[in-house]
Amino acid sequence: MATAVGFQSDLSTLQDLQDLLTPKCLPQLEGADIDGASIPAGAIGGDYFDARVARSGALFMCMADVMGKGLRAALLSLSLRSAFRSVLCYEERHCGIMNVLNQVVGEELRRAGAFATFCLLSFEPGARSLACTNAGHCPPLIYSNGHATYFGGAGQALGLSENCPAPVAETARLAPGNVVVLYTDGLVEARNPPGEKFGKERLQHAVEESVALRATEIRDAILSRLFSFTDGQEQRDDITLAVLKIKVKEGGARLGGSERAT
């Protein structure tokens, strides 16, 4: 009996840790709608997603995928979470944030023989401008005017090199009705029973079919299509995604697509 109680207590602790890796209360913005979900492959995973509003009023979203799975990966993800939230209190430049993360958390990752892919997005609601810095992570999808593009280059993952310069941020201007999807490789690399990968094309189709809906419903549509595809196949990797939907004003027509800033 004591063993069973202890096991249940351990499971509860793992669940508490997992809950910390996905924000319970997401920011509410006047011009945008956001939501996300994380599904670990086991009791706890190494994926991390966060969304915070900085002092300037800009929305910052990040997603990380720490090498490996289980408790070890989760603890490293929690270090990323703490460092990201701390640095955002005084720094909003992408290069400054990424440099601090690679110095502080990168040291822990290197000591553990691990690394973490990391994608940072910032969105300014007034200008509807989006900036992306990508450290080895899956490139975010932008869906606009019936077309999907992948945004943000792939720099070096956190923890691989102590003195690696921060990846260069890319910028775009969004329009009402545009959708941005952040995701980990566990989503696009999920397999069905014959061994096929879910892939980017199916992700794009899921967004296309739900683009007129709210962020929560788009998230659910992607997951529904994913689970229909995998058809009960064992989940081998953590799956995390986040959706940013630029709101369309009531009675207003959807405007044009995203524009790359010059």
Determine, yes or no, domain membership for 226: no
Number of domains composing the chain: 1
CA dihedral 213, 57, 260, 23 (to 10 degrees): -50
The pLDDT score that the predictor gives to residue 18 is: 64
**Helix extents (H) in 115-179:** none
> Edge-to-edge strands of the sheet including 47-53?
47-53, 59-66, 116-124, 129-135, 170-173, 259-260
- CATH number of the domain at 150, please: 3.60.40.10
Determine, yes or no, domain membership for 142: yes
Determine, yes or no, domain membership for 110: yes
Determine, yes or no, domain membership for 222: no
Residue 151 CB neighbours (<10 A): 20
Determine, yes or no, domain membership for 51: yes
Determine, yes or no, domain membership for 7: no
The pLDDT score that the predictor gives to residue 162 is: 81
Taking only the tens of pLDDT, the chain with its 262 residues reads 444 444 344 445 566 666 666 777 889 888 899 999 999 888 788 898 999 999 999 999 999 999 987 888 889 999 999 999 999 999 999 999 999 999 999 999 999 999 999 999 999 999 999 999 999 999 999 999 999 999 877 789 999 988 878 888 999 999 999 999 999 999 999 999 999 999 999 999 999 999 999 999 999 999 999 999 999 999 999 999 999 999 987 544 343 344 333 2
The three-state secondary structure class of 213 is coil
The pLDDT score that the predictor gives to residue 152 is: 78
The pLDDT score that the predictor gives to residue 254 is: 40
Q: Which residues of 124-145 are buried (b: 16+ CB within 10 A; e: fewer)?
A: bbeebbbbbbbbbbbbbbbbbe
Determine, yes or no, domain membership for 50: yes
Q: What is the DSSP letter of 31?
A: S
Determine, yes or no, domain membership for 199: no
The three-state secondary structure class of 1 is coil
The pLDDT score that the predictor gives to residue 86 is: 96
**Structural domain span for residue 134:** 23-184+236-248
The pLDDT score that the predictor gives to residue 22 is: 73
With CA atoms as reference, report the closest residue to 207 among 142, 152, 115, 114: 142
Cα 252 to Cα 55, 176, 177, 212, 247: the distances in Å are 30, 9, 10, 13, 10
* Residue 103, amino acid: Q
